[in-house]
Structure formats: structure tokens, C-alpha cells
Structure 1
């Protein structure tokens, strides 16, 4: 079955394509905001949802343990939603993921604290975080597949870039909201009631995004498979692991680079800079916002480059720049502290190379198991590497201040080898029409 006709391959973006990209990116940004906002108020939540007499360190462990539960739920939620996405339709699961995220976010904002309902408070908090984790496991892979199958083949890179930019924009939105809440209210007001505002706002906006997604259409690729009775006749995950092992391995390895870049450069670096070089939280926050903003912009711009030059060239050049910028950040912040913001902004811009990852993944699997293949590879790899990275980087930084840069550099070298191997094999990852091949 030909995935798309020649006319569909070569047409330009139309108004419907732009509308689809805008709604999908907006929903992705709001969903990632809902997932990440918890971490910005973790300290407040720890004091409110656990016994008053509990030691601070134990409160912190349990609070972040509940946060981590969301990550542990990602693979299961993502695989289940991808299973039905390959069998009954992309759109339904794409809409369901927003609903599963918006409802628990809203409920966290409305939930009574430990003082009112006792130990039921942390239990419900854990339940809601698991629901959020299941939702986020389906959102990223589902969104990438959805837009990639909607737009013309020559614009798949741009589509993935818009989605990736939306997801990282959600992280920036959470940071801005947390900054605004803490600036507008006193610590006492935040602890008493203002901490609920970001959750209530996220829940309501998520429900609005779910409503708007109802107006999206099912992808032409899935409709064509359904019309030709070409849907998977067995468990999609079984078929993906049996027939497309090469694609699964490739997708997991490139996802490793994505987790290293995001977790180390974007999420961990502010705290590491404070610890290593004595920067104030305000200084690192400003620099981090600049880095996240440029990451969002460059992820979108990289999509244009992917459509023009292909994944191999963009991946190789972008990977080298990521290594250079990370070392420049960690060396430069020590030698010239006043250069923190521009160095961090440059590093954030090079993290935009992560957009190569979804582009590679959606082209690595045939349509019948694409959602499942992408979701399994991405979520399992993120659960493994995302969980190991903070621990390993913490160990490395105690041995060498450049430990975080060494880790990002080593993982990016693995990514570069993967991309160079694809180049030697003469595989054009920029050709979505060839996606029927078992593995790329």
C-alpha cells in the first residue's frame, strides 16, 4: 500500500494543515505545562500533603517520589494509548491524552490537604500523578505521529518541530507561571492558597484544549489504512518488536540524547550552577528562561532544516554544536561568570537538535505500527535514561565539575554514531514516503 500519493507528497501547506499544527502545538504546550508545574511547587506541596511532624528530608523524598511516579507511569500509559491509536485511530487517543492530563491537574488544584483528609491526601496526589504520567506518555508520541501524518511529506520536519517547540514551550510556561506566582504573593499566601492557581489554570486550559481538538480530523494515513483494511492484525507492540527491532533500537538510542540534553542542560543546570559556582537562583532562572526560549525557537527552525537537508546532516552538525555549547557553558561559567546568560542561551539553542529524534522515529516505522513503535521506544528509553541521568550526573559532578558536560558529550557521541551509520547505509531519513520499510 502506498502511504501517500504523489500529489500529497508535493503539495504545499494549506490552511487546514496550519490549523492542525497550531491546535496540536497548543495542546502539547498546555499538557507539558500541566505535567511540569508540580515540580515548581514541590516544596509547598510537601508541607501541605504530608504530616506536619515529618522530617523535611523525608517530606522531600516522598514529594519527589510522587513526582517520579508520573515518569514511571509514562511507558504503560503510552503503550496502551498507542495500541488503540494504531487500531481505532490517532485522533481519539490524541484527545484522550489531554483529558487524562487536564482532569487530575484540576483535581490537584481543588484537593483538600493533609490537615483536612489525613493520609488520603498523599494517596490521591499519587493517583493523580500516575494519571498525568499515563497522559504524557501518549501525548508526545501521539502528537508527533498525528501531525506527521497530516502534513505533506516535504513538511514533516516542520510539523515535528512545531510540536517539539510546543512541548518545550510548556516547560517555559510553567517556569514563568511559578515565577509570577512567587513574585505576586508572599510565601505565606502561596502556602495558604496561591499555589492552587497554576493547577486550576492548567486544568481549565487543558479542558479547553481537549474541546478544540475535537475539531481536528483523523489523519489521512490512518483513514487510508482503514479503507484498505491494512490495520495491524495482531498486537501492534508485538509486531513492532518482532519485525522492526532495528527501528526500535535506533529510536531508543536517539531518545537517549534527547533525555541527556533536556534533563542535564535544561532541567539540572540551574541547580548545578548554583552549587558549583555560587550563582543566585534569580541569575540561573533568567539564564534558564533564555535557554528554554531559544530551545523552543530552534526546535521549530530545525524542522525547516530537516525538510531541506535531512536528518543525517542536521543531526551530525547539531550534535557537534550541542557538545561544544555544553562544554562552553560549564567551562565559561567558571572562568567568566558574567557570561552565564549568553552561554546558557547558546546551549539552549543547540538543544534544538532534539527535534531530529521525533523526525527519525516517525520515519522509522510503517504506518500500521507507527504510533506503537514511536511510543514504546520513546517512553521506555525516557523512563530508563531519564531515571538514571540525574543520579549519574550527581555522581559525576562530585568527581569533576565538568561531569555534566562529559555525560552530555558521551551520549551525544552515541547519537552521532547512530546518525553517521544511517548515512553510510545510504538511508534517507528525510523521506517519509519510504516509511513502509521495516527499519531505517
Structure 2
């Protein structure tokens, strides 16, 4: 995210490319941007930039001559007064200077030169978290710049130590632009790492006793050598980034290798990281301090949350409460689903049982149809009488016993018994003659 040094480098970039260049026509806004229109139109004007903390201001100054004065009376849309447009970069804002054919995709505000072919100075913001304000001024709730208003910056902090903003840990207080205008996430990590102050130490405890004495009101280099405290590092560390020049943060080439090599703590291997109460990742080493959030979790590598704001905290933000109505409405739905599932399982089991019964009945009927059916005419007594008559015709000496009684045989010995058996049952002593099997 662009911080104080990056916005200052952007202002240097604009002043360098706009030196001696004349712009013309209206300031054009993209159709998708929700920021306000810039009501400025002039045949010839110049652009100059200035930064302050996390803001940058472009001053559009018309080039006046007699012809322009006459045209302004005819065409009221032509501007004759300078206009200030204040920009905030948000998460991904920057300025680009390209040809008309190479216009960036996310160029949301464009200033055209009067040369041929036309060139364009454009404000590029892919995520559209930044914005601008025509006829704007520096925001009143932002403190003095940490780089170019150093004495005012220190005095503003010490005169307001009773503010509730300093009840927080020092790592969260450093993001408050009311007192630390220009400090962002990577700068606070580098500053606290060099002071060896635990990031979750109370801010008021850390800052008390750091008043700037009269003999210390000298140049920044002298302060850096003699009294390198937390507030002096808030001034000198950003200036180190500025000294890296465009090579450290060049919007034209997006080469960040040099500034990454400069970092000693932020995102460096071996360092610890914890999310503060604002959801920002704090990089540090050693003990985190007594005000570390409860049940803190280190963020996973490679995944960073993108929040739709500038991360400039001025007051404590209340956490959004979950609506209990939504939770209550979800519970009955789950219970109904469970009941429906149980009903479906019951019905499926009953259906399976009925299907099985039908299959068993069908198999039983099929087996019964396969069996041979033997039909006998008459009652049991009639059948017995027929058997007796047939047997008497074959061997009238033998009288069959009545049904249900076992035949009683008289014991005979010798040849008489053999004669009876062979005569009565000539077929190897069978009790029933084969001719009766089909009855």
C-alpha cells in the first residue's frame, strides 16, 4: 500500500515529467469511477504536485494571455483560476505518464497535453479504493507530515497523550493518521523493529518522556545521531525510503526489488506476525508485549486480506454484531431437513419390506404351479373298498385290515410260511402288487 514516502515520490515524479509541459482541454473522468467530476477546462495550463503525509495535491494553473481572456467571456466553461485537486491513493493508486495509445486500463482521471501526438497524465487505481476531491484542501483530521513537518509532528503527539487513541498498543496507534500522518503497515514494522519496542506495548507508556528539548530542535540528521527515539525514527526511516528514489517505488516499472531488499522486518523470513485488532498484520521479533490480542492467530503465508478502506485509523471502530435472527431462522430449517430425512428412510424401509413380500408371494405361487397335481375321486372309504376288491380278485385269501390299523401277521414256520408268501406276493415278497401304484 502506498504510504508517505511513496506519495512523496509520486509528487516528485509528476513534477519531473510535467516540467515545461503544457496541458489542454477538459479533465476527463472514466465512466466507471464514482469520484466527482473535475470542473476544469482550459486551453493551456500547467500541473505541479505537492505531498503531505498520505495525501498529494495537484495544482492546475492556467497560462493566461489576452486571447484566453477574450475566449473566457465567450465560453464560460474555460477556467481562468487555478484549481487544487487532492488525491488519496488508497491501496493501489499511482500516476502514469503515457501516450494516448498506451493509456492504462484503470486510468480513472486523465490530463491531456497539447502536443502532437497527445500524451496523458493519468491517475491509475485498479482497486478503486483511492479518490480525489476537486477544489480540495488537506484533510483537517490529519496531523502534520512525519517527514516535512517534524517539529509540529512531535509537538502534536506529546500535547495529546491523554487522548484515548494512546490507550491502544503502540503498533495500532502508529496507524492513526491524526498523529502519525504518513505511517503505514510496513513503516510501523520497520520503526518498531529498530527501536526494539514490543509492538503490543501500551502507546502512552512508550511515548511518555520523549518530549523534544530545545537543544534537540536541530536538523533531522543530528536528531538521528544524538536522540534516536521512536518519534525521530518515524521521521528518518521514511526519508530512507525517499532516498532510494524511483528505483524503490517506480510506478512506471513497478520494480520493488530494491525496497524489499531494504526491509529488515516486514515480510522477512524468520520474523513473527500477528493480526492486530484492526485486522492488519504486524511483523516483529521477540516478545509481542502485554496487550497482544487474546486467542491471536498468525496469518497464513501467501494470503492477505484486502479491506476496502485506506487503513487510516482515527477512532476505534465497533465490531459488527451478528444478527441473532439469522441464526435462529437457520436452526428450524436444519431440524426440518433431519425430520424429512428420517421420514424418507422410514418410507424407504417399508417400501423395501413390501417389495420383498410381493417377491416371496410370487415365488411361492410359481413353485406351487410347478408341482404335479394328483386328483383322486371319491372319499377315503370308497378308495379303501376299491383297493380291497382289487386285492381280493388277485388273492382272495388275503383280507386287508381296516384303515389306521397295522396288519397283524400270524407266525408260521417252515414250508407253509414260504408257500403263503410266495403265493400271495410273487414279486420278491413286496407287500403291494405293482399294479396298484397308479391308483
What's the TM-score, normalizing by structure 2?
0.24
Larger radius of gyration: 2
Structure with the larger helix share: 1
